[in-house]
Chain A
Amino acid sequence: MDFLVIDRVSKSFGKLQVLAGCSLGVPRGTVLTLLGPSGCGKTTLLRSIAGFVQPDAGRVLVDGQDISDLAPNQRQVGYVFQNYALFPHLTVADNIAYGLKVRRRPSSEIARRVAQALELVDLGPYGARHPAQLSGGQQQRVAIARALVLEPTVLLLDEPFNALDAQLRMTMQIELRKLIERVGITSIFVTHDQLEAMTLSDNVAVMRSGAIEQFGPPLEIYDRPQTPYVASFIGRANLIAGRSEGGVFAGSQPVRSGVADGDATLVVRPENIAIETGDGPGWPGSIGFATALGPTVEYEIDCGWKEPLRAVVPRDYGRGTIPARTAVRAVIVDPQAAIVLPGARHDGH
């Protein structure tokens, strides 16, 4: 059984339903990311695990124990806040020692464990400083140390990299991932940044409007999205409306479809589209907007559909960018990598 289980948790604030029957399981020692846009309920779900929010229905179980009725100060889960929530009137060392003092540990033990925690996050000489004197990255490490010093079995982090600038963010993500692996603790991140989700996690739960749309390892969600929303949220996707008949998505580039007959959506990643000129198979169209991204070039191809087709191709150092209004054919490189989903709605984007 999974180490942490969320069982049909629902929560409404007044008339607004924020969580609608969420269920998921987190295996021991893995990292899960709750991914979704603002308002999808991911932070509320995290706070429900910590006990700051009482669900209207459902249970939260840790290591087989139902902790749903426990007050937040009884739950023994580590929590790192988005703004770190360090106590401004205490030093770094006192911040880290806080939970130990509350548990009335002897001062020698407190000193030892605090020193260890500082070493763990590489902030050894900063114990006597106050949070206001530290940089954002340092504050985050103090927050992590403060949570980990209590040796919780679960670590919850609410958009921990939001307050950091882009450069620092990437470094800290990798540092944190290494730290978590070293300590071996089951962790749940909340983020709206899909790149972060891909970098950090063993599993990703894509959330929408209070429910979990898809759960699985990052690459699986990328390669095999189960809804157009998930397809658009992770990576970029071309969503092409059409029909599935007899196990095939009909059109000039038929794709094998496991979907029943009827309206269907074809999901093709931009990097899975090649641009060719002259006669041949593929969707005819003309080049619209082109953006040189460095190693790749992104083209918008106007095929006469509602939205342009996007293709990302490696830079052709010889020929340069294809000029606008050139007549081209958009060809699916690997039909196996294209996904057919039931329904014709364009969700997300």
Chain B
Amino acid sequence: MTRKRRSMAWIDRLGMAALVAVTAFTLLLLVAPSLIVIAISFEPRAYISFPPSGFTLRWYQAVLENRQLMDSVVVSLRTAALVMLICLLIGVPAAFASVRGRFPGKATLNAFLLSPQMMPGMVIGIASLFFGAYVAFRASNTMLVLSLSVFCLPFVIRITMARLAGLDPRLDEASANLGAGPLETFARVTMPQLAPAMLAAAAFTFIEAFDNVTVALFTSDVRGRPLPVELYYLVQFDSSPVIAAISSLEIILSFLVMLVIARTVGLDRLGR
């Protein structure tokens, strides 16, 4: 036992210390802002203070009573749900063609389907706004949903493609060998294996559509602002902890989505 720790060169000691220090700093940097916001939301006084001088839920109550904010939450929820549906409906079949298709130009198709990722949200937003004007279509919730779907489509396609590509083709053969036709194989073997990934894709798309500012600022209508846009305008003149409260609620929502993703495809899959 006495010989367990070999003496380390000083450079290794230094390196390891630096590594740990930077890592700790980064972790702190990642979580501190969110934690601070949540803490502030309980501050009884009408201005920002950290640590909070007391505990109160009045700001959360203020959120619930704020008609404009609640309306925007509803808009965001509705928008996110619609975007999720659209992206699933057109994205999942597209993933099938990308993974299992055998036709010339498949690589081009894949690049095209994933191309919205390369566009900054702002560009998609402005482009949609201009195109809408060109065809005499004003900014509205519809335009918001349609433009956000473009933005979010690659998420669904990528997650579905990853799962699909990982399926064992032998399972399809086994299913056929046991008597199932192509459709039955799809229903009994492919879909059940795909379901968790689709759930994760749905959750991720939902939250991305819910949270989005860059596209929404351009394509949403004044009369029906989604939450992040509402906050964007609110933040510029309201300095009370109300915004901290609604932000905390958003953070909680993000945790719920993380739970879904963790239970289905696993959090570590988001990096790929």
Contacts and interface: CB of A to CB of B under 8 A. Distances in A.
Contacts of B178: 73, 98-99, 102, 146, 150
B181 A81 contact: no
Interface residues of A, number: 26
Contact of A98 (B168, B175, B193): B175
Nearest to B191: A89
A14 to B, nearest CB: 13
Contact of A99 (B179, B189, B192): B179
Contact of B180 (A73, A77, A81): A73
A229 interface: no
B168 A85 contact: yes
Nearest to A150: B178
A50 interface: yes
A102 B179 CA distance: 6
Contacts of B188: 98, 102
Contacts of A3: none
Contacts, number: 61
Interface residues of B, number: 17
Interface in A70-98: 71-79, 81, 83, 85-89, 98
B170 A73 contact: no
B20 to A, nearest CB: 37
Contacts of A306: none
Q: Is the interface of A mostly helix, strand, loop or mixed?
A: loop
A77 B177 contact: yes
B176 interface: yes
A103 interface: yes
A102 B193 CA distance: 18
A73 B174 CA distance: 9
Q: Which one of A88, A102, A103 has the highest number of Cβ atoms from chain B below 10 Å of its Cβ?
A: A102
A334 to B, nearest CB: 47
B187 to A, nearest CB: 11
Contacts of B180: 73, 98, 102
Given A73-B180, A73-B181, A102-B179, A89 B192 contact: yes
B173 interface: yes
B173 A72 contact: yes
Interface in B5-51: none
Given A85-B171, A88-B193, A89-B193, A72 B184 contact: no
B177 A79 contact: yes
A50 B175 CA distance: 12
Interface in B163-203: 168, 170-171, 173-181, 184, 188-189, 192-193
14 contacts: A50-B173, A52-B176, A71-B176, A71-B181, A73-B175, A73-B178, A79-B173, A83-B168, A87-B171, A89-B193, A99-B178, A99-B179, A103-B179, A147-B177
